[in-house]
Amino acid sequence: MLAQPFNGFENYREVFRDQTFRTVFVNSIVYTLITVPGQMAVGLLTAILLNGIKRFSVTFRVINYLPVVTSWVIASLVFRYIFNTEGLLNYFLWKIVKVTSANIRWLDTRWGGISVAMILGIWKGIGWNMVIFLAALQQVPADLYEASEIDGCGAWKKFIHVTLPGIRGTILFALIELTIGGFNVFTSIKMITGGKPAHQTDTLLTWMYYKAFSTGRFGYAAALSFVMALCLGLLAVVQFRMMRSRDN
């Protein structure tokens, strides 16, 4: 086997000159910016509600955690069936409630396909956030809430001044983990849109997979993986410093 010639930083230069890379990079950022706060907000709200429920609390926790243990492949196929041009949602909107006069092509546009993947990502992540936030909420001392009530704090002030500071470490942990997961989104994009149309719905990981295993550009894919790792490292550092500055 002939050795491949050394090309220095050419793969990195090609990555940054590639218009498709810019598209998939923006897609990954948008996906992360939407799904991470969405999962955390709904997960925290669910945890707060469940923390105050005494009866059937285990049942509600199991129901909310079911999406987490559901296979990504199966969930993605179900969402593709729902949002497909001839899928369940279009049938409901056109044939049942008659609010549209034709099928809507949800998955045939860039932001339509990504939006469906983001809905799936938020739905899948709520249960995981619920569990870790529920565990954190149960560690907040009850006497802090009692003291805040004596001082005349309402529910919102107790949430801002007692609950959030009490679970700050868990928030940082969830933020970092979900950010990494957002940039590593693969299965849902691959199964729902396959990157169509013309790789406009691809993300960093699906584009890397395509370049490596569909075109044989392993050097390009390796360079892209290092760029991705660098971005995640910088984001983690920024998040740590933001949380530290707030603590100070």
Tell whether 75 is covered by a domain.
yes
60 touches 53 (CB < 8 A): yes
Tell whether 190 is covered by a domain.
yes
30 touches 22 (CB < 8 A): no
Cβ-Cβ contacts under 8 Å for 21 (sequence gap 6 or more) = 15, 207, 224
| Residuewise pLDDT in 10s, the chain (248 residues) | 445 676 778 999 999 999 999 999 999 999 999 999 999 999 999 999 998 887 878 888 899 999 999 999 999 999 999 999 889 999 999 889 988 888 899 999 999 999 999 999 999 999 999 999 999 999 999 899 889 888 888 889 999 999 999 999 899 889 989 999 999 999 999 999 999 999 999 999 999 999 999 999 999 999 999 999 998 888 888 877 876 665 55
Peptide bond into 37 cis (omega under 30): no
Tell whether 5 is covered by a domain.
no
For residue 183, the enclosing domain spans: 10-247
d(CA 69, CA 120): 13
CATH of residue 151: 1.10.3720.10
For 95, which DSSP code?
A: I
Tell whether 81 is covered by a domain.
yes
Tell whether 2 is covered by a domain.
no
Tell whether 92 is covered by a domain.
yes
Please measure the distance between the N-terminal and C-terminal CA atoms of the chain and give it in whole angstroms: 59
Tell whether 200 is covered by a domain.
yes
| Number of domain units in the chain | 1
**DSSP notation for 37-53:** HHHHHHHHHHHHHHHT-
Tell whether 108 is covered by a domain.
yes
Is the model's pTM score more than 0.85?
A: yes
